[in-house]
A and B are shown apart, each in its own frame.
Chain A
Amino acid sequence: MFIGTEQLTHTYMPGTPFATEALHNISFGFRRGEFALIIGPSGSGKSTLIQHLNGLLRPTSGRVLFEGKSVGSDKHELLRLRRRIGLVFQMPEEQFFSETVFDEIAFAPRNQGLQEEEVEKRVMEALEKTGLQASELKNRHPFQLSAGQKRLVAIAAVLSLKPEVLILDEPTAALDTTCRKNLFNLLTGLNQKEGLTVVISTHHLDEAAALANRVLVLQQGKLVMSGLAADVFGKREELYELGLALPPVTEIMHGLADKGLPVKTAVYTLQEARREIRALKRRYKS
Chain B
Amino acid sequence: MHGQSSIIVESKDVEFYYSGEEETVWPALSGISFTVNQGEYVALVGPNGSGKTTLLKLFNALLIPSRGEVLVKGISTANEDTLPEVRRTCGMIFQNPDNQLVATTVEEDIAFGLENLALPSREIQNRVLETARLLGLEKLLKQPPHLLSGGEKQRVAIAGVLAMEPKCILMDEPTAMLDPAGCREVLKTVRKLNRERGLAVIHVTHFPEEAAGADRIVVLNEGQLIADGAPGEVLTNLPLLHSLGLRGTAAVELAALLRADGCPLPPQILHNRELVDSLCSLEQNS
Q: How many residues of A contact B (CB 8 A)?
A: 48
A74 to B8, CA, bound (A): 60
Q: Which residues of B contact A227 (CB under 8 A)?
A: none
* Residues of chain B contacted by A43 (CB below 8 angstroms): 148-152
B181 touches A249 (CB 8 A): no
Q: Are the C-beta atoms of B250 and A243 separated by less than 8 Å?
A: no
The residues of A that contact B286 with a CB separation of less than 8 Å are: 281, 284-285
For the complex formed, measure the closest distance between the CB of A141 and the CB atoms of chain B, giving whole angstroms. Answer: 13
Known A-B contacts A18-B144, A42-B149, A147-B48; the reply to A255 vs B206 at CB < 8 A is: no
Question: Could you tell me which residues of chain B, from 55 to 72, have a CB within 8 Å of some CB in chain A?
Answer: none
Whether a CB of chain A sits under 8 angstroms from the CB of B253 is yes
Residue pair A178, B151 in contact (C-beta under 8 Å): no
A251 within 8 A of B: yes
Residues of B within 8 A of A176 (CB): 47-48, 206, 245-246
Q: Decide: A203 near B180, CB < 8 A? Known: A248-B251, A270-B250, A270-B257.
A: yes
How distant is the Cα of A42 from the Cα of B183 in the complex, in angstroms? 10
Answer whether A244 and B49 are a contact pair too, CB < 8 Å, given A18-B147, A176-B245, A251-B272: no
* Chain A hits for B179, CB < 8 A: 40-42, 203, 243-244
**Interface digits, A170-182 against B, CB 8 Å rule (1 contact, 0 not)?**
1001111111000
Residue B117 at the A interface, CB < 8 A? no
Residue of B48, B206, B261 most packed against chain A (CB within 10 A): B48
- B251 A42 Cβ-Cβ under 8 A: no
Instruction: Give CA–CA (A222, B68) in the complex, Å.
Output: 54
Report chain B residues within 8 Å CB of A251: 250, 272
The CA-CA distance from A281 to B48 in the complex, in Å, is 39
Known: A43-B148, A43-B152, A248-B250. A146 touches B49 (CB 8 A): yes
**Does the CB pair A259–B206 fall under 8 Å?**
no
| Bound-complex Cα distance A278 to B276 (A) | 14
Q: How far is the CA of A256 from the CA of B255 in the complex (A)?
A: 14
Contact of B49 among A90, A147, A252 (CB under 8 A): A147
B side interface size, CB within 8 A: 42
Q: Does A97 contact B (CB under 8 A)?
A: no
Nearest chain-B residue to A181 (Cβ)? Answer: B245
Residues of the A chain whose Cβ atoms lie less than 8 Å from the Cβ of B148:
43
User: Are A42 and B177 in contact, CB atoms less than 8 angstroms apart?
Assistant: yes
CA distance A40 to B180 in the complex (A): 10
Contact B251 A41 (CB under 8 A): no
**Given A146-B48, A176-B245, A177-B206 in contact, is the A274-B178 Cβ separation under 8 Å?**
no
- Are A270 and B253 within 8 A (Cβ)? yes
Question: What residues on A are CB-neighbors of B232 within 8 Å?
Answer: none
Question: Does A209 reach chain B (CB closer than 8 Å)?
Answer: no
Pairs A–B under 8 Å by Cβ, sample size 23: A13-B147, A18-B147, A42-B149, A43-B150, A170-B177, A174-B206, A176-B48, A176-B245, A177-B206, A177-B245, A203-B178, A242-B181, A243-B180, A243-B182, A247-B250, A248-B209, A249-B250, A255-B273, A256-B276, A259-B276, A261-B280, A270-B254, A273-B257
Binding site for A on B (CB under 8 A): 47-49, 95-96, 144, 147-152, 173, 176-182, 206, 209, 245-247, 249-251, 253-254, 257-258, 261, 263, 272-273, 275-276, 279-280, 283, 286
